[in-house]
Amino acid sequence: MANACVLMRTRLVSRVVTGIYDQELRPFGLNSSQFALLVVIAQLGPSTRAEISRYHHQDRSTLTRNLQVMLNQGWIEEALEGSSGRGRSIVLTKSGRDLLHAVVPAWRAGQAQAKITIGQSGVVAIRQIADGIMNMPERA
């Protein structure tokens, strides 16, 4: 079962790749989950927690815990401007934008190491799988 289990294999890859990025981002007081959320928030612009959760395919309770850390660090804020009636929008602060800019060399180092670790065919496969997931209709 272990050799054929998709769950076990994907979690192994996830732990290894996450560890690579965590090591590179650690000097900035940032982990890979927080980095990914910062990138998503920067990409989406002002968005509610629900919108970020759907885009990031993350349950709301996990998202809320991660966002709280980022709010406490001052990397994001809840904005009244641009908010819908469904909740306040989350936006990057100047500190969050500056952090994203500062971590680019660390991210590049993580990218290079991850590509070496999983190989070119692994990179292509992960991109194809992720693209397919991003294009899937939402589950109810």
Kindly tell me if the per-residue pLDDT of 57 is higher than 90. no
Q: Please give the model's pTM, rounded to 2 decimal places.
A: 0.86
Kindly tell me if the per-residue pLDDT of 43 is higher than 70. yes
- What confidence tens digit (pLDDT) does each residue in 85-98 have? 567 899 999 999 99
**Residue 103's pLDDT is what?**
97
Q: Is residue 87 located within the same domain as residue 110?
A: no
Mean pLDDT of the 28-49 span: 94
Q: How many domains does the chain have?
A: 2
Non-local CB neighbours of 56 within 8 Å, separated by 6+ positions: 36, 37, 40, 63
Neighbours of 92 (CB within 10 A): 20
**Residues 15, 20: Cα–Cα separation, whole Å:** 9
Q: Is residue 36 located within the same domain as residue 73?
A: yes
pLDDT confidence bin for 139, thresholds 50/70/90: low
| Contact between residue 89 and residue 47 where contact means Cβ atoms under 8 Å apart | yes
Q: Is residue 95 located within the same domain as residue 113?
A: no
The residue range of the domain holding 88 is 31-102
Mean pLDDT lowest for which of 56-60, 106-110, 123-127?
56-60
